[in-house]
């Protein structure tokens, strides 16, 4: 059987094929069952070492990778950048070379600058997994979003997906647009003009359109994906006030009525309640936000397993 994911590193969705994406999702489906057991542990990565190297804050991704590694019996090491030698001025490459000298099998990295995982992949013998690099990509988020959509819609092909919000700063949007269009969904993107990059539609695969209003994106959609306003990446005023943003681009029950009656709502978290999403929507039965987090563990188990040499039939 062909291995579904034949690369050592997972740097982004842009550079992998539809069949590799399906292979990762199918492997994650197999691992899902482990997470429902009383003893949530299998020996698949016994003797392997996974390092979590996070230069940016994280609740979901970091915890999820650590739990995934431990459920596969790997030794998981979390490095706190603030108490590491990075704080003494060590370069990124030197940090990577020194970690590599301890023979880890996998390094999971999150960094505020686009391209850092690619840089590490050039110098490290360990598999490098991108856990989010600047506004570039967040591949495991897109994979867990896809797993959530598949679970509730059966397949991704032919679905209409609205992605709304701060597209400019969103690695989640980029990875999702690559993944969803590769798997045959039609993606409609909406956000304030200042938060949708100029020429954006040219950089992604066909199957995506940019529309001006949230209503245009949501109308008839099967999936509504709302993005966080990333205030930590905004160095100037992209919209007058948060209240105005909420009035024009916030997802309310009234706006959600425009979507298909069985439409589902996704948000990668952390949410700004009352800004990009109303609590009435976030807490409704159509919101799958906590399912996304749950499937994140199975997806990261699959990614760690495949990147460290496992095959589809584990």
Minimum Å gap between C-beta 133 and ligand CP is 12
Scanning residues 258 to 277, which ones bind ligand CP (CB under 6 A)? 268-270
- The residue whose two tokens read 């069949």 is 19
Evaluated on CA atoms 275, 280, 282, 288, the torsion sign reads negative
Binds ligand CP (CB under 6 A): choice among 14, 60, 219, 294: 60
Closer Cβ to ligand CP, 49 or 141, answer by number: 141
Closer Cβ to ligand CP, 65 or 305, answer by number: 65
Minimum Å gap between C-beta 132 and ligand CP is 6
Among the listed ranges 14-22, 55-63, 155-163, 275-283, the one in contact with ligand CP (CB under 6 A) is 55-63
With CB under 6 A, what is the number of residues at the site for ligand CP?
9
Closer Cβ to ligand CP, 44 or 142, answer by number: 142
Closer Cβ to ligand CP, 207 or 269, answer by number: 269
Scanning residues 135 to 154, which ones bind ligand CP (CB under 6 A)? 141
Print the binding letters for residues 111-140 with ligand CP: x by CB under 6 A, - otherwise.
---------------------x--------
Scanning residues 217 to 236, which ones bind ligand CP (CB under 6 A)? none
Residue 308 binding ligand CP, by CB under 6 A:
no
Asked if residue 135 lies in contact with residue 113, where contact means CB atoms within 8 angstroms, the answer is no
The token pair that represents 224 in the structure block: 């509504």
Minimum Å gap between C-beta 277 and ligand CP is 14
Candidates 143, 286, 280, 170; CA nearest to 222 is: 286
Residue 284 binding ligand CP, by CB under 6 A:
no
Outline where DSSP puts E strands in 157-234: 160-164, 186-190, 208-210, 223-226
Minimum Å gap between C-beta 139 and ligand CP is 11
Residue 58 binding ligand CP, by CB under 6 A:
yes
Closer Cβ to ligand CP, 44 or 224, answer by number: 224
Q: How far is CA 200 from CA 166, 190, 195, 243, in A?
A: 13, 12, 11, 26
Cα(228)–Cα(271) distance, rounded to whole angstroms?
6
Asked if residue 176 lies in contact with residue 145, where contact means CB atoms within 8 angstroms, the answer is yes
Minimum Å gap between C-beta 301 and ligand CP is 16
Minimum Å gap between C-beta 14 and ligand CP is 18
Outline where DSSP puts E strands in the chain: 49-54, 75-80, 106-111, 127-133, 160-164, 186-190, 208-210, 223-226, 264-266
Closer Cβ to ligand CP, 64 or 246, answer by number: 64
Among the listed ranges 54-62, 67-75, 101-109, 199-207, the one in contact with ligand CP (CB under 6 A) is 54-62
Cα(55)–Cα(10) distance, rounded to whole angstroms?
18
Cα(314)–Cα(294) distance, rounded to whole angstroms?
21
Strand order through the sheet with 49-54: 75-80, 49-54, 106-111, 127-133
Interacting residues toward ligand CP by CB under 6 A = 58-61, 132, 141, 268-270
């Amino acid at each position: 059987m062909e291995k579904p994911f034949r690369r050592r590193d997972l740097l982004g969705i842009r550079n992998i094929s539809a069949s590799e994406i399906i292979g990762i999702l199918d492997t994650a489906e197999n691992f899902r069952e482990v997470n429902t057991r009383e003893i949530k542990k299998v020996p698949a990565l016994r003797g392997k070492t996974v390092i979590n190297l996070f230069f940016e804050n994280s609740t979901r991704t970091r915890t999820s990778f650590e739990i995934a590694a431990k459920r596969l019996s790997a030794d998981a090491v979390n490095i706190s950048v603030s108490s590491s030698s990075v704080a003494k001025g060590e370069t990124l490459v030197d940090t990577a070379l020194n970690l590599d000298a301890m023979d880890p099998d996998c390094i999971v990295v999150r960094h505020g600058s686009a391209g850092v995982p690619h840089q590490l992949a050039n110098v490290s013998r360990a598999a490098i997994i991108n856990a989010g690099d600047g506004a570039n990509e967040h591949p495991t988020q897109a994979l867990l979003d896809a797993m959530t959509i598949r679970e509730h819609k059966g397949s991704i092909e032919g679905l209409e997906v609205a992605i709304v919000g701060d597209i400019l700063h969103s690695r989640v949007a980029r990875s999702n647009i690559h993944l969803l269009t590769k798997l045959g969904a039609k993606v409609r993107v909406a956000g304030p003009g200042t938060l949708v990059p100029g020429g954006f539609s040219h950089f992604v695969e066909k199957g995506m359109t940019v529309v001006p209003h949230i209503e245009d994106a949501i109308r008839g959609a099967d999936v509504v994906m709302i993005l966080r306003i990333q205030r930590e990446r905004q160095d100037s005023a992209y919209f007058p006030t948060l209240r105005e943003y909420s009035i024009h681009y916030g997802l309310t029950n009234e706006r959600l009525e425009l979507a298909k009656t069985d439409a589902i709502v996704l948000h990668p978290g952390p949410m700004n309640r009352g800004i990009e999403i109303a609590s009435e929507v976030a807490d409704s039965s159509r919101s799958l936000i906590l399912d996304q987090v749950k499937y994140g563990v199975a997806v990261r188990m699959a990614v760690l397993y495949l990147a460290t040499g496992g095959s589809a039939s584990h």
